Amino acid sequence: MIQLILALLTAELGLLLFIIIKCPLWKHVILALDQIKRGRGPLVIKTFVATISVVLASNLHSMHKIQERSLETRLLNPTDQVLFTKHLLEVSFIGYTLFLWLIIDCVHHYINEIRGLKKSMKDEIKLKRILEDERLMEGKKDSEIRELNIRIVQLELDIDMKDFQVKSVKASAVALGKQMEGFLLEYDRLLDENQILRNELKLMDRRFSHCHSKKFS
């Protein structure tokens, strides 16, 4: 029994070293412990702990009987002394075994918590980067919107300027049209006056010719 407990104790010490010291097999050991705690693993562990506890209780009971006999006889014979030492070693080894398993379980639990926290931290970092990228994109969009607003305002000013220029050209065209109408009216008046003057000259020429012919006849 002691040899089995020593083998179990040695295995637990090796497992604890594998967990504490990160070696190439560290991930495989953690995965193995994860598998042990799933499915029927917890039931097997509880059965094993219950068996060890029964052995521990049996050894303690045997030690108590040996102590009672020694108190009655006031003498511890060599056989009882060997048995007492054997039970004491088994109790000590079983206690160390349970204690080491408790440490392994706690360390494994903390490792899983740390892994979960690291995963959560990575997710938070990714989310932070996504939010920062979105903020940058929003900043770029805001700058683009500001630039578009500036361009729109500039275009509105250009449109107003062009509209003013068009109105000025229209006003100039209207003024020119009115001037042309005035010029045309003045031209028509001059044509009429010119025609009148021509008619008067023709009439005067006829009169002059008629007078001249009478004078020589």
Distance CA 66, CA 83 (A): 8
pTM metric for this prediction:
0.53
Distance CA 19, CA 116 (A): 17
Q: Contact at 8 Å (CB) between 127 and 35?
A: no
At a CB cut-off of 8 Å and minimum separation 6, what does 107 contact? 16, 19, 20
Which pLDDT tens digits describe the chain residue by residue (217 residues)?
A: 667 777 877 887 777 777 777 777 777 777 777 777 777 777 877 888 888 888 888 888 888 888 877 777 776 677 777 777 777 887 888 888 888 888 888 888 887 887 788 888 888 878 878 877 877 777 666 676 677 778 778 877 877 787 676 566 556 645 655 665 665 576 567 667 778 877 887 887 777 676 656 555 5
Distance CA 217, CA 206 (A): 17
